[in-house]
Amino acid sequence: MSQDVFEAIAKALKNGEPAALVTIIKAQGSTPQRVGAKMLVFADGRTVGTIGGGCYEHDAFWKARNVLETRKPVLARYELTDDFAEESGLVCGGEMEVYIDPIEPVPPLYIIGAGHVGYQLSRVAASVGFQIHVIDDRQKFANAERFPDATEIIVDSVPDWLHRTEFPPYSYVVIVTRGHRHDLDALRALAARDLRYLGLIGSKAKVVKIFEELATESMPSECLQRVHAPIGLDIGAVTPQEIAVSILAELIAVKHGKVDIGKSGDDSTVQSMRWTPKNLKTP
């Protein structure tokens, strides 16, 4: 049974599909499954394996679905009392603990812009396990010599490529192009996407200007509120190398649930300014 689960995990990771693994880590008394029994739960409700059936498996299933949302592991304890046994239809009277762990594929990082910051970010992000994708319209900058660790290098019109490309919902995307117009085009194509992380480089004044332009185009404010902008944690970064470190720090914080997408800008640990309609300048 565990073999089926392990094969399903390998397939999910290969296909880039998140899942949650439920494992019995402690069992005392009469329980329907022993320690080590596993069940894999997918976001669409599919399961592989079992931890014994009944109400407690049903409860663990929904906890696993929640783990897929929070990306934080959970320890659940069940006392298989007579009442629980009657409700679940199981004849047992023991105690059981299950550990529910999110299983996530290697996080893809799409770097929109192959200039100085994008180059530095690709180097440090690859070293901590991000899968690097680089997009730029200049082959002089976007090439394998400059980005040897990249899984994919795209030389194309950035807005055209973005508009025809689908991104997995667990993708991390940073917009670090060479200018305001390119940043605007990229954000216009990405702001409404379901992404794990979307960040935009630039000063607060530049960010507000870009957001104002998109708002006049009827971009929903809730889409702009999810953007991390200005990008990166506020560590006083100045050079491209330092800015890359600040961006990577924010990516890691989001990956581990330390920074919530859409969180208001009053979090002192985060530089990003969450935009609301009141940021609009009135005539």
Look up the pTM and report it.
0.76
What is the pLDDT at residue 266?
Answer: 37
**Cα–Cα distance between 40 and 19 in angstroms, integer?**
7
What SS3 state is found at 180?
Answer: helix
Q: What mean pLDDT is reported for the chain? A: 86
**Cα–Cα distance between 36 and 66 in angstroms, integer?**
22
For 208-230, b where at least 16 C-beta lie within 10 A, e where not — what string? bebbbebbeeebeeebbbbbbbb
What is the pLDDT at residue 14?
Answer: 83
Judge whether residue 268 has pLDDT over 70: no
Q: Percent of the chain, pLDDT > 70? A: 85
Which among 37, 95, 105, 122 has a CA at the least distance from the CA of 71?
105
> Which of the 8 DSSP states describes residue 88?
H
**Cα–Cα distance between 56 and 169 in angstroms, integer?**
30
Judge whether residue 190 has pLDDT over 80: yes
Which among 162, 167, 122 has a CA at the least distance from the CA of 143?
122
Domain ranges of the chain: 2-103, 108-279
**Cα–Cα distance between 62 and 42 in angstroms, integer?**
11
What is the pLDDT at residue 52?
Answer: 83
What is the pLDDT at residue 56?
Answer: 80
Asked if residues 133 and 110 have their Cβ atoms less than 8 Å apart, the reply is yes
The count of other CB atoms within 10 Å of the CB of residue 238 is 9
CATH architecture under which domain 108-279 falls: 3-Layer(aba) Sandwich (3.40)
What SS3 state is found at 77?
Answer: strand
